Amino acid sequence: MLEFSAHIEENHLYRVGGRTDGDYRSILGFLIPSGMIYLAATEAGLIQITLPNESFAQVEAWVSKKIPKAILIQDPTRVSEYKQQVQQYLDGTRKTFTFPLDFRGTAFQNAVWQALFNIPYGEMRSYAEIAEAVGNPKAVRAVGTANGMNPIPIVVPCHR
């Protein structure tokens, strides 16, 4: 459990608009004591959450790379489900997330991120265990690399 409470600022909620591959995109930002955190989502689910040391420009660059021609549009209503559950998690009242995820990585990265997401709250797995879980037991270092590229930390934790 985190030792601080976060307050999500309504004026930092965004939606990523524009049609690229048939989806619309959403963005949410909220302020915590150590800085701003942003969430990005598509119609299919959450695609990115930043850490406090990452800027909005980094969010824009990531979205632009993963979703060409997308634009960010402020839209608190469309991201309210993400806002609520992340707020509850940061407040220590939630241990699991029920909203959908929309992984935007390679097939291997997506498998690793799904394996990380499936680790129950309060439990830990080694990279070797995750490599085994994704069906590639020799890919321990690749699991570590995929973990480092995880665009959805906190929700898809690098460590439980």
Q: Distance between CA 8 and CA 93 in Å, rounded?
A: 15
Contact 56, 27 (CB under 8 A): no
| Cα 56 → chain centroid | 14
Q: Distance between CA 31 and CA 56 in Å, rounded?
A: 12
Contact 30, 83 (CB under 8 A): yes
- Is 158 a catalytic site residue? yes
Q: Which of 1, 68, 158, 160 is catalytic?
A: 158
Q: Distance between CA 86 and CA 61 in Å, rounded?
A: 23
Catalytic residues: 158
